[in-house]
Amino acid sequence: MCCSQIGIRVDICLSGVQQLLTVAGTIPEHKTIAVSQNSRMHVSLCLSKVYEDLISDQERDLFLQAVNSYFEYVKFLSLSGLSV
């Protein structure tokens, strides 16, 4: 079910997308977040399901903007020598 269909604000849902991306980008050996070997696969399935459930082009654009802004943030942090 799409976030906007169940009454949750889309920006809250997009924050969750960015949190999923954080988990997907976590390197298990660094132990910054407790992840298993299957975490990336699970996150991939979640992100795919969220994207499939979006009902309009506007929601899809917001999803893609959230993903792009997350990667811009990660890029900024890596150039600054910081981590997520």
**Residue 63 domain boundaries:** 3-80
What is the distance between the alpha carbons of residues 62 and 51, in angstroms, rounded to a whole number?
10
Predicted pLDDT at 10: 59
Phi, psi angles (nearest 5°) of residue 74: -65, -40
Report how far residue 84's alpha carbon sits from residue 82's, in angstroms, rounded to the nearest whole number: 7
The pLDDT value recorded for residue 1 is 45
pTM reported for the whole predicted model = 0.69
Give CA–CA dist 77/17, Å, rounded. Answer: 19
Tell me how many domains the chain contains: 1
3-state secondary structure 10-30: HHHHHHHHHHHHHHHCCCHHH
Lowest mean pLDDT among 9-18, 21-30, 42-51, 68-77: 9-18
pLDDT digits (tens, 9 = 90+) for 42-73: 999 988 988 888 888 888 888 888 888 888 88
